[in-house]
Amino acid sequence: MNTDHAGPADLAALRAAFGGGACRPPLGRDAVRAFEVEHGIVLPEPYRTFVAEICDGSSSGPPGYGLVPPADLPDDWGDDRPGRVLARPFPLTSMWMWEEDPRPREEIDPVLERVFDHGSIVLGTDGCGMYWHLVVSGPHRGHVWQISGEGAVPFGAGFGFTTGEPGFAGWAGHWAAGRPWFDAA
């Protein structure tokens, strides 16, 4: 997974996966740079090139309720959440099931806020509070995570749970192939 340069094979696969007409027009390089400056980040490749040149969100997914543009949030996100700070590092590097964490809520809740609201853009939702995030700052920059009310799980074969390749291109390619998200035996 290269987060600094978009590989031609990844971009070709993304063009094929999102070529069905359900895409919003791409943002263009200037709008992507403006978004990055506003938030103090650089979007990881190939997502950066994807939104600049291919597609700024798609009503057909992935995930189940569509791919939202980088500046947006899914309709079911809610209005009572704290402000998102993309430049603050995403705090996780491995799965965390907070529903099973024995620590008291007053220790867990501050970390949960950072998991949901810092260091990532929300790619979209599969419904029922299951959101897909692309990490844009911190040690897991470029990785896609599923974050729900119960816990957070990184996407990619190296983490278990799935046979898909890590990163945005691997995540989108897994969806385009029609494979279930969690297909590891």
The pLDDT, as a whole number, for residue 104 is 94
The pLDDT, as a whole number, for residue 156 is 95
The helix/strand/coil state of 12 is helix
Residue 152 burial (CB count, 10 A) = 21
Phi, then psi, of 124 in degrees rounded to 5: 155, -170
The pLDDT, as a whole number, for residue 152 is 96
- Global pTM value: 0.95
Task: Give every residue of the chain whose pLDDT is below 70, as ranges.
Answer: none
Strands (E), the chain: 120-125, 131-135, 144-147, 152-154
